Each structure stands twice: as C-alpha cells, then as structure tokens.
Structure 1
C-alpha cells in the first residue's frame, strides 16, 4: 500500500496533544518529580527539532509563533559562567539551581523561533549551550530515546564536573541544571502559545531609536546572543568593543507587538 500523508487537521491535533503533554509533565515536575524533565524534552523535540530525515510539527504547520525568552540579556564580558534561565538557591539541602519562572527579568523579549531556539542559555567559559542543545541531548541521550553509557565531555562537564562553578562547601551541587532549564523552556512554550491564541487582533509598531542585533558564538553561526548598542549599558570601552567584534552579527529590529490589549517587545530579523 502507498504511504499516507498526514492531513493538516491531524498535524494540528498532534500539536495540541503535545501542548497537553507539556502541561501534564509540568504538573508532575512541579510536584518534585524532576526526572519528568526527560519526558518534557522528548515532547519539545517532537514539537521543534528538525533533522535531515524528519521535520518538526512546528515547521510542518508553518507556525509563526513568537517565543518568550525568560533569559536576561547575555553578556560576553562576564568572567564567570552564565546560567541564563536559572537562579541559585541555598537551603538546608544545600545549593541548587531553580527555574526562573513568573517573568523573572526586568525586560522580557519575544523572538522568532530560530533566534529563541538557538539562544545561549549556558556558558561555562569552555562551551556554550542553546535551548536546542539541552533539549536534544536530554531527549536523545539522557534516557529519552537512549541512555548512553558515555556522556560527551562538554555535557559531562556541565552536569557531572560542575563546570558552571556553583557548589557548596563540599564542592557539590544538589541537582541537574539541564533539567531545571528544560522546565523553564516548557513554560516559555506554554506562555508563547497562550499569547498566540489570546487574540486574532494583531499590530506591530517598530521602535525606531533602538538598535538590536544577534551575535554568533560559534563558527557555524548557530548559537547566538542578543546585543544592543542602544539598550545595553556595556560595550563602550575599547577592550569590550574588541571582544564584541570577534562575534559575527546579524541585524534585528525591535517592535511592540500587540495581541489585542496585550503588548510585548519583539525582536525580529
């Protein structure tokens, strides 16, 4: 028999099912079952990850959702590690990473998918990791599709050898930063979808005096961070300008985007 091509209606139904899976897994995670992050990662992979042989539901639906970033703006001038979606908490159980939820930064930006998916969320000063890196690794190698015998060096540094450098007096950290980040990514997706569905009334207004760009942290120009010469009070010294010049750039524009009576700041290519 011939292959069957799924209809648009089926893709939409599956997308809605993945959103329901995310919401259910978030509830389980928030009750203390942090290993549920593995299933969250699997769901996110199905929704968003493309390979040479398969395309994500998001791409096949030609969605144009804009994605909320809970991350503050990354600085390439930091001398210490960065964990953009997390906070550090000290309790009787020791030091742990906690997901930043409930609009944790002073200024939230929304992005097109590629800028959001490939935005840096960890930098241990040896390697940088995007949302895509973390989701795909956990979904494919950390008990999702497979539980590999060996952990690649850069991921081992992050979760075993504590390359982020946060630890208690015994040199340990009590939880896995990748799992905590996945919890935040799931929330960003839920919030972004809810905004998309909030109102069909749309309007975008450019903010002309703001200058934004993305800078690429890798040679392949995939992992990136947002930068602004107008909205970030760094990068003015000669040393900082030299550091910044090492990263290739791609220009962006800042908009106010309205969904009915809701307004967000949207950085667009």
Structure 2
C-alpha cells in the first residue's frame, strides 16, 4: 500500500485526539503570543489552527467533532452584531427620549475589534482580549451575547467593512486558511471583499497626546492619520481568545462541577494582558474624524 493513502491508515490509539487537542492549543497559544508581541502575520497560522479545531466538511472532520464536544461547548462571544445593536439602540432611544432615533451607522460600531493606543500619538485596531468589553446597560453591552452556541458563533456575520460587507468568524478563518497562505495560496487570487477589509481602517482617523493643541490643528481634518493595523488579523486574534477561554471554561466547570457565573473571574485561567491601552477615554486632547 502507498504511504499516506486511506488504505494505509490504521486506527489511532486511545487518547490520541486528546493529545492532538493539547498540541493544537499549544500551537494557538504560541502564535497568539507572537501576534501580541507585534508579529501580526501570525494571524494566518492562528486561522489554520482554528480551522483544524472547528471546521467540518464532507471530506474532513474537525478535532472538536472527533472529541464529541464541538456542539456542547458554550462559546464565549465578545462580538457586536448589527441586528442586535440596531435593536439595542432603538430600545435605548425609546427609553431615553421620546421621538429620538438613530440615523447613522459606521462599521466600527460592530465586530470584534477596538481602538487602542498604537504609540507615537497614533491609534490602531486591536483584539480586545477581554471578556467584558462594555459598560453594563449600554446599547453595546446589550448587543453582546456573551455566550453563544456554535452555529451562531461560527456562522453569524459580525465583522463589517466600510462598504457594508459583513464577515462571519468562519468567513475570515476560511479565507485566511484556504486562500491567503495558511494551508493554500490561491492561484486565482484572494476574495475581493476580504482584500478590501485587509486595508480598511473603518473610517477612523485620530491623533492623541499631550502635544496636541487647538491652535495647532491641521487646516483639514482629513489630514488626521488613519487608524493603524489590520482589522481582519485583529479579529482572528480575538476569535482565538474566545475559543481558548471557552475551552478552559468548559474544563474548569467539568473538573469542579461548579456553577459558572460569567461575571466572576476565571479562577485558574490566565487571561492575556492586552498589548495595548484601549482608547476608551480621551488622553489629553483627542482629534478625530470619520474619513
């Protein structure tokens, strides 16, 4: 029989898939660590590992399906979804002012990323790497599921580009792994909408720092520097964060037979320290405009 063919396969030993899970999580942790230290191209390898863990086809089975746990996990969901946000904003407007309505929407309202300090007075799009991203009671908080089943978490569109195209977690992982050099480099080319997202700064321009003064404002606000970093890559980093926390959460509950309260800390789960300072409040004078 030929090496590497189906006919040459032999049954795996007991514990094989559990060992593979430990190996794949190790890959994910190392790639995420490199990403957080500034090697953002690691997002491609993160996507490949996510695909191994999660994606089922007619010809291949994901590792979590082999283990029989993919559809039993409660997936930590830090995303903001457009339909949920629209409903939350409408309810907020109804409660706070009679006749008030929301008339504008931007791509940066939804998705998985946030603005952070990128150094030298610049801002960039980062993976939040936090469980609670928003103040309780705000429309964004009310639009964040916090826990989702697999199909909703994996397939629901949530990352939005400036031109209005929306990407699910699976869309981003699939394109990175199958077209953008993860497992394959596509001969024809990349998905056109994905290429647009790769250079999309979501219409945000901002400068910050102690040296900003009103008398020094540029003649045109269009000179404000664009937000840095790759929204697609940062989104995949956040997807990895969500999955790793979901798996560790499941293991903690399984071992302790405990009742998990989402607002409580994860006892033995070391959450990563975000490699950025979120731009939740202005530092000195902040100058910004949607461009």
TM (normalized to structure 1)? Answer: 0.68
Other-structure match for 2:262? 264
Aligned to 1:18: 24
Identify the residue that residue 11 of structure 2 maps to in structure 1.
Answer: 5
Q: Tell me if the contact between 1:8 and 1:61 (Cα under 8 Å) persists in the aligned partners.
A: no
Q: Which runs of 5+ in 1 are unaligned?
A: 203-258
Map 1:130-169 → 2, pairs under 5 A: 130-148=168-186, 150-160=189-199, 162=200, 164-167=202-205, 169=223
1:8-53 per-residue CA deviation (whole Å, 9 max, x = no partner) reads 5211211121111111112111111111111111110111112221
Gapped regions of structure 2 (runs ≥ 5)? 2-6, 87-103, 207-222, 264-291
User: Which structure has greater helix proportion?
Assistant: 2
Find the residue that maps to 1:68 and give its secondary structure. strand
**Greater percentage in strand:** 1
Report the equivalent of 2:217: none
Pair 1:109-2:136 in alignment: no
1:116-153 per-residue CA deviation (whole Å, 9 max, x = no partner) reads 11132312353210111111111222221233463222
The root-mean-square deviation of aligned C-alpha atoms, in Å, is 2.6
Residue 71 (structure 1) aligns with: 79
Change (3 A) 1:49 1:167: farther
1:222 counterpart residue number: none
Q: Choose 1 or 2 for highest CA Rg.
A: 2
- Measured in 2, the distance between the counterparts of 1:95 and 1:148 equals 32
Aligned length: 208
With structure 2 as the length reference, what TM-score do the two structures score? 0.63
Change (3 A) 1:6 1:100: same
Runs of 4+ in structure 1 deviating by more than 6 angstroms, as ranges, are: none
